[in-house]
Amino acid sequence: MNRFGATILDADGLRLTSEEKAFFKDVKPFGFILFARNIDTPDQVRALCGDFREAVGYDCPITIDQEGGRVQRLRAPIWREWLPPMDFVTAAGPQAERAMYLRHRVIAHELFALGIDSNCAPMVDVAGDDTHDFLRNRCYGTDAVTVSALGRAAATGLLDGGVLPVVKHMPGHGRATADSHFDLPHVANIKNDLQGHDFAPFKALCDLPMGMTAHLVYSDIDTAPATLSKPVMDVIRKDIGFDGLIMTDDIAMKALSGDLGDLSRQALHAGCDVILHCNGTLAERCRVAEASGEMTDAAQTRAIAALNARKTPDEIDISACDAELEALTGG
């Protein structure tokens, strides 16, 4: 098998341009990510996924952010609308674990039918009193045990539907009081406190095939953002025990400052396996791809293991799932 490029990239529109096709053929990114600008009709999404795979010449993973609530790229009237995760969990009450499994099994069913075989979920950041609004209602709960159980249910629902889960944001974004899309949050809590709370759900889900980093500083561990920090990546690999493929959160988010090529090299040097780059120009994608190069031996091994975790969806009655979800959440 050819060596994968150490990138996950996006596209400008509903179908690939000739320039994008030539670029992707050349740099062979490990996978791709879709946004609302890439979504119109089911047939169009399937055709775009086909464009991606034809360009790179293999059955590459194609991911999306389909959490529900504010963060979902597939929307009504064609696809289901979902409550924000925190509201959904509250509505389901004691049946939240079953409801989260069904929610993500149905999400997987919708994604798989389009050729999308990865989802940037579960998000197992533990919410606190000061969690920034951009994140809070995307969380599953306020204690690590609950979040771990609901994260496992979500991941299992996706896997049963043929979709790879991407657990995020490692090693925990819940204490952030700033929006990392625009600012760099700092967390001052000591490492021992973090291990029993923020890090715990990631440890509980350390067998999942893929994970995504957090763009925030854990000042008790390092002065660099987690995505660029070898000490934080060591926590993820050694203390948490995660040996899946680790992608960065979007390397172009404003929490990180500097040249995209330099940031990509720093993240890979810190221990990330693959650079996620979103919402940039083709020239910016080129810079990121050139700086990132091909995967290391270790990253390639993890990437192949992630691809091998994809499976044929199990048989399911979607209308029965919808009816059970309606009963569990009170509609």
Q: Which of 222, 249, 250, 273 is catalytic?
A: 249
* Helix (H) or strand (E) run with residue 181 in it: none
169 preceded by a cis bond (ω within 30 of 0):
yes
* Helix (H) or strand (E) run with residue 117 in it: none
Angle between the 318-329 and 96-112 helix axes, to the nearest 10 degrees?
A: 150
Instruction: Report the Cα 245 to chain-centroid distance in Å.
Output: 11
CA 6 – CA 297 distance, rounded (Å): 11
Q: Which of 26, 130, 143, 181 is catalytic?
A: 181
CA 23 – CA 36 distance, rounded (Å): 22
Give all strands of the β-sheet with 210-213 in edge-to-edge order. 118-119, 164-170, 210-213, 245-247
Closest to 140 in 3D by CA, of 112, 107, 177, 167:
167
141 touches 201 (CB < 8 A): no
Reply yes or no on whether 249 is catalytic: yes
Which is it for strands 118-119 and 71-72: parallel, antiparallel or unpaired? unpaired
DSSP symbol at 132: -
DSSP symbol at 133: H
Known catalytic residues are 181, 249
